Amino acid sequence: INKIYNSKFFFDFNNLKNSLLSRNEIFNIPFKILIENDKFNKEVFFKFSSKKLRLDIENITSYNEKMVKEGSLEIYLLNDSSSFNYEIRKNSLDFKSDNKKNDYYGKLDFKPFYFYANFNNEGLSTKKLFDSDSILYDIISSEILNNLNLNINIDFNIKDIVNVNELNNLLLKIGIENGEINLDDSTILWKDDLMITLKKAILNMDKEKINLIGKVLIDVNDNEHFYKSFQVKKSLRKALKEIQFDFIFDFNLKEISFDNVEIDGKNFAEVDEFINNFNLRTNRKFNKIKFKNFVNNFFNIYAG
């Protein structure tokens, strides 16, 4: 529900435009809008500003007698800016960016509502996506995505993860339907050694915390190179093809827990005990050193 706290409609005599200025709030997100109608040039200017989302949007739409209306939009998000052109038809909107390096495109159907977008980026930090001060975290926390009428599919194709040298070629697939947010079939590469895929991955939200719950499937493309990266002893380097496990990741605490670990389709009692002991720890956060030690200990138990 859109709450309007202050709104005024007036005629701008200096620029000869009808104007609307309003201060609003929706899904706990305060924002301001400005709309100006230039009847002489047959253009509508629209500006959206939200400090909480760190987002500003400026739009100009030309209107005439044609069936297709054209426009351009500028987006200012954090320290980045982007622009795209669009076409509006009777029941849909198509858009495409001007940026050839980090391009994106998509379509919005008005009735029934459906939004699809594909974003391509040469390099991005995971902090911009998943940290507690990221735009994605703010949107999820606002509960705007809990609207049962939303039907959205967004693909992020990110070539290089700039803050983690080993990770590359992220395909983050976000699907939203009937108030449920899933990341099914999202993939990422660990160097060229591992293909990591999310299965049955759902964002579970309440007022206090956000959890990502699902299954990870790891396809091993290069055993030897992977073992070398983590300096696993040669005597522990068993050939393997696939690892899978269930997990819960707490976005607020940045902690993870594991369950139901299978290696090449089999369970191992020693591995289960190792994982259970890890889950009992009061601190289940990973940094690079802790993660490397965890992997080494895991294969030490598995090969033992």
Neighbouring C-beta atoms of residue 8, cutoff 10 Å: 9
52-104 pLDDT, tens per residue?
888 899 999 888 767 778 888 888 776 677 788 988 888 999 999 887 777 88
Q: What is the mean pLDDT of the chain?
A: 87
Distance of alpha carbon 134 from alpha carbon 170, whole angstroms:
18
Distance of alpha carbon 199 from alpha carbon 140, whole angstroms:
20
b/e code 20-54 from CB counts within 10 Å (16+ = b): eebebeeeebebbbebbbbeeeeebbbebbbeebe
Distance of alpha carbon 253 from alpha carbon 92, whole angstroms:
41
Please state the length of the chain. Answer: 304
190-220 pLDDT, tens per residue?
999 999 999 999 988 776 788 999 999 999 9
Say whether 234 sits in a helix, a strand or coil: helix
pLDDT grade for 138, boundaries at 50, 70 and 90:
low
Distance of alpha carbon 1 from alpha carbon 24, whole angstroms:
10
Distance of alpha carbon 112 from alpha carbon 110, whole angstroms:
6
- Residue range 32-54: average pLDDT? 89
Give the residue carrying structure tokens 């009428």.
149
Rounded to a whole number of angstroms, the distance between the first and last alpha carbons of the chain is 59
Measure the CA dihedral 205/206/210/213, to 10°.
Answer: -50
Structural domain boundaries of the chain? 1-63, 84-182, 193-304
Give the residue carrying structure tokens 């609307």.
20
More confident residue, 110 or 102: 110
Distance of alpha carbon 19 from alpha carbon 183, whole angstroms:
41
